[in-house]
Amino acid sequence: MVTFLPSRPGRLADVPSFARTIGGAESNVACALAAAGHAVKWVSRVGADGFGDHLIAAVAAYGVDTSGVRRDANRPTGIYFRTATDRATDAHEVLYYRAGSAASAMSPTNVPHEDLDGARVLHLSGITAALSPECLGLMRVLTARRAGRPLVSFDVNHRPGLWREDPAVLLDLARGADVVFVGEDEAEEAWGLRGAAAIRSALPEPAVLVVKQGARGALAYTRPARNPAAFEAGEAGHPGDTVTHVPAPRVDVVAAVGAGDAFAAGFLSATLRGLPVEARLRHGHLTAAATLTVAGDLGTPPPTAYADRLAALDDERWGTLHLGPGWTAADQAMEEVRTS
């Protein structure tokens, strides 16, 4: 979508102007992964309009292959407006203009499979499933377990303002994925599940389940595979989970929107590099911190070598990390990272 950010805090009715930028769960992940040096292709639909031109150009500027984006001459590009407040507060307002958009017309019949062939990872979002019955049908096809498919990553991304179906549908989609990201709070809101253990009991199928716990950190349930570094879909795991928890670093938050997408990108980047689960979680936190410390939906990830050094800190030093605006601007020496 094209995203409009407010020029100052306040109710949407009182904000006098907005700055145009880009947003969208899957495109956010694509941009962050490309910025981290991965080969990424974004598959979607946008209108044959100026906003569609802007979206394609802006996403491509991150190094993302946009050849899988189709233009729709009959439907507009989706847009949304939001306030500057945190999504978790009652003061937060967001207005989506996505009904009848080009993206909402995606279906199993108009998304060519050749756009997805050869991928190591296919990342999906529950937001897309909420856009229309056709989009939900596409998500059902893409999360169906079949031989030879890519590793399927699914971020639940429950949005009550968009979702018209029973949110249990999101649970069904998540069961078909190999890697699932879900917030502890959204699992309780959508499914009435309290706590990470209850979420894992309801989602035993994914080889990796990441439960995000806000400022407390994130917890990963992983089932060992025969080749953990490759992490290919369809590999049978062994019974039993390994549970890994990594606390989140202290972050001076500018805006929380997009942090979940950034976390997924950081985790997936580390997965593609074959890093251990603890390092994957730490890279997820670091990439999320890059977005938390900027006003828009997309932050600039830290240089890989710098992020690797931070992710390799011992538990004590990791626990003292304090990241503020501008912390990713340069490949700083370790001593330059503020601690408290």
Q: Which residues are catalytic?
A: 261
Q: At what angle do helices 277-292 and 259-272 cross, to 10 degrees?
A: 150
Q: How many CB atoms lie within 10 A of CB 325?
A: 15
Distance CA 8, CA 18 (A): 9
- E strands in the chain: 2-6, 18-22, 41-47, 65-72, 79-82, 94-97, 121-125, 151-155, 179-183, 208-212, 218-222, 242-246, 250-251, 322-323
Q: At what angle do helices 304-311 and 277-292 cross, to 10 degrees?
A: 120
Q: Which two tokens stand for residue 327?
A: 């912390």
Exposed, middle or buried: residue 332 (CB in 10 Å: 0-12, 13-18, 19+)? middle
Distance CA 231, CA 275 (A): 11
Distance CA 336, CA 332 (A): 6
| Sign of the Cα pseudo-torsion (181, 184, 186, 189, in order) | positive
